[in-house]
């Protein structure tokens, strides 16, 4: 069974600073990996995903993530934080076995941007 660990339930960075949100996964097969963002009182929105191919994936709003198999990690980064990035971020994994369709989510990281 797959699982996701997000280190740091709360992360604060200054506006313009690097954003780094950590995600480690456990999966019995090569995983598909996702990052979602949730703004207050809204549903989750897909930021980016890794399925196969290039291990550095780019998403919306300037975010990117790198799949590192040796470290079982899929950390989310953004070079320069913006006030509008304040939200909760969820990492998710799928082991994409046919018939096992659900995503397993981490417990989330709340990102605060300091002006």
9 forms part of the interface with other proteins (CB under 8 A): yes
Give the footprint of other proteins on residues 53-92 (CB under 8 A).
90
- Sign for the pseudo-dihedral over CA of 69, 74, 75, 78: positive
Position among 49, 62, 64, 77 found at the interface with other proteins (CB under 8 A):
49
Q: Which is nearer to other proteins, 20 or 39 (CB)?
A: 39
Count of CB atoms situated within 10 Å of the CB of 88: 17
Q: Which is nearer to other proteins, 22 or 96 (CB)?
A: 96
State in angstroms the smallest separation of the CB of 101 from other proteins: 4
In terms of Cα–Cα distance, which of 94, 109, 98 is closest to 38? 109
Position among 13, 108, 111, 113 found at the interface with other proteins (CB under 8 A):
108
Return d(Cα 114, Cα 59) in angstroms, integer.
23
Task: Please identify, among the stretches 14-22, 65-73, 79-87, 99-107, the one whose residues bind other proteins according to the rule CB under 8 A.
Answer: 99-107
Within 13 Å of residue 46, how many CA atoms lie on the same side as its CB?
9
**Would you list the DSSP string of 94-108?**
E---TT----EE---
Residues binding other proteins (CB under 8 A): 9, 32, 34, 36, 41-46, 49, 51, 90, 94-108
């Amino acid at each position: 069974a797959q699982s996701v660990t997000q280190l740091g339930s709360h992360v604060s960075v200054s506006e313009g600073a690097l954003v780094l949100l950590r995600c480690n996964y456990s999966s019995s097969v090569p995983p598909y990996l996702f990052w979602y963002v949730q703004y207050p009182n809204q549903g989750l929105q897909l930021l980016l995903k890794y399925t196969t191919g290039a291990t550095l994936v780019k998403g919306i709003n300037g975010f990117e993530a790198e799949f590192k198999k040796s470290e079982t990690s899929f950390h989310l980064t953004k070079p320069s934080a913006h006030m509008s990035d304040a939200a909760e971020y969820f990492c998710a994994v799928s082991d994409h076995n046919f018939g096992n369709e659900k995503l397993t989510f981490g417990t989330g990281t709340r990102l605060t941007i300091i002006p």
